[in-house]
C-alpha cells in the first residue's frame, strides 16, 4: 500500500466497502506522519495475499488442525458464506451455541430487537464453510502423508496419513499451500531486513500466480465447462 510500516498506528483487515458483497472487503491503515493522520484503504482483492487459502504466513501447526467449528467451545462464530447472506455489505455470522446460558442471552437480545436470528440446518453450516471442511478434514490425510514422507513428526489425528481419495489437482493445491506458507516466512524476513517489500513480492508473486493456475484450472477447460453447464440448463428448461 506504499506506506511505511513504522508509521502505521492502526489497521482494519475487514473494512466494509459500502455497496459491495460481504466477502469483498478492504484493508484500511492509519498512517501518522509529521503530525498528519492519513487513511489508506485498498480492496483485499488487490493485495498479494488474496485469496486467504493461499496460506501465506500460516503457522506449521495449522497444517494439522482439523477443527472447523470450535468443537469444544460454548460458542463458535464464523462467516456465513451463503448466497442468501453474502450480498449484505455488513456481513452475517454463523453462530453455533452449545451452552444454555449463552443461548438465553441471544434469545433475549432477539426479543429486544437488538439482533436478528435465523435457524440454519447443519448442512447449511457445512456449505457456508465448505472450503474449510475440505482443507482441514478431507485433505488432512494427504498433508500428514507429505510430512511423514519428509521424516517430519506429525500428531495423531482422526484420519491416517494417506495419499488415497484425493485427486491430482487437489494434491498439487495442498503441496503449493505448504510451499507458499514456508516460503512466505523466509521471504518476508528477508524483506524486513532489506526494508524492501519488493524482495517479498519477487519471491512470492510467481508462486501465487502458479497456485492460481492450478486452483482455477486451464482457461479453455473452464470456458468449456461453463458453456456445457449453460447448455444443460437450457436443455432442462426446454
Mind listing the pLDDT tens digit for each residue in 188-229?
999 999 999 999 999 999 999 999 889 887 545 555 556 656
45's CB contacts (< 8 A; 6+ apart) are 24
Q: Which residues pair with 39 in a beta bridge?
A: 30
Report residue 17's pLDDT band, with 50, 70 and 90 as the boundaries: very high
Closest CA to 180 of 210, 151, 157: 210
d(CA 218, CA 216): 7
Say which range, 21-25, 96-100, 229-233, has the weakest mean pLDDT. 229-233
Say which range, 27-31, 48-52, 113-117, 204-208, has the weakest mean pLDDT. 48-52
**Average pLDDT score over residue span 4-25:** 92
Each as own residue / partner, the long-range contacts of residues 92-96 (CB below 8 Å, 24 or more positions apart, any chain) are 92/22, 94/120, 94/125, 94/128, 94/129, 96/69, 96/70, 96/125
What's the pLDDT at 15?
94
**Average pLDDT score over residue span 29-33:** 95
d(CA 92, CA 22): 8
CA torsion through residues 57, 60, 63, 69, sign: negative
Task: Dump pLDDT digits (tens) for 89-126.
Answer: 989 999 999 999 999 999 999 999 999 999 999 999 99
> Cell numbers of 127, please?
456449505
Residue with cell 426446454: 238
Looking at residue 156, what DSSP letter applies?
Answer: -
**Average pLDDT score over residue span 30-47:** 92
Q: 156 with 108: CB under 8 angstroms?
A: no
Q: 54 with 204: CB under 8 angstroms?
A: no
**Average pLDDT score over residue span 170-184:** 95
What's the pLDDT at 48?
76
Closest CA to 126 of 189, 81, 172: 81
Looking at residue 47, what DSSP letter applies?
Answer: S
Q: 152 with 162: CB under 8 angstroms?
A: no
The count of other CB atoms within 10 Å of the CB of residue 22 is 19
Task: Dump pLDDT digits (tens) for 127-174.
Answer: 999 999 999 999 999 999 999 999 999 999 999 999 999 999 999 999
Amino acid at each position: 500500500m506504499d506506506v511505511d510500516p513504522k508509521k502505521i498506528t492502526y489497521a482494519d483487515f475487514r473494512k466494509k466497502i459500502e455497496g459491495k458483497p460481504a466477502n469483498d472487503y478492504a484493508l484500511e491503515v492509519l498512517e501518522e506522519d509529521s503530525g498528519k493522520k492519513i487513511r489508506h484503504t485498498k480492496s483485499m482483492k488487490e493485495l498479494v495475499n488474496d485469496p486467504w487459502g493461499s496460506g501465506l504466513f500460516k503457522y506449521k501447526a495449522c497444517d494439522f488442525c482439523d477443527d472447523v467449528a470450535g468443537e469444544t467451545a460454548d460458542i463458535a462464530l464464523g462467516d456465513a458464506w451463503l448466497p442468501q447472506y453474502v450480498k449484505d455489505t455488513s456481513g452475517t455470522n454463523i453462530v453455533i451455541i452449545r451452552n444454555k446460558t449463552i443461548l438465553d442471552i441471544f434469545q433475549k437480545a432477539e426479543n429486544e430487537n437488538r439482533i436478528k436470528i435465523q435457524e440454519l440446518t447443519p448442512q447449511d453450516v457445512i456449505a457456508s464453510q465448505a472450503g474449510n471442511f475440505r482443507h482441514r478434514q478431507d485433505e488432512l490425510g494427504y498433508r500428514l502423508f507429505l510430512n511423514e514422507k519428509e521424516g517430519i513428526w506429525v500428531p495423531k489425528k482422526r484420519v491416517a496419513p494417506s495419499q488415497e481419495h484425493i485427486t491430482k489437482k487437489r494434491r498439487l493445491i495442498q503441496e503449493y499451500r505448504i510451499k507458499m506458507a514456508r516460503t512466505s516466512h523466509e521471504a518476508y524476513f528477508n524483506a524486513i531486513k532489506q526494508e524492501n517489500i519488493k524482495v517479498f513480492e519477487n519471491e512470492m508473486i510467481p508462486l501465487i500466480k502458479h497456485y492460481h493456475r492450478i486452483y482455477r484450472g486451464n482457461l479453455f477447460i473452464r470456458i468449456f465447462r461453463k458453456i456445457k453447464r449453460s447448455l444443460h440448463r437450457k436443455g432442462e428448461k426446454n
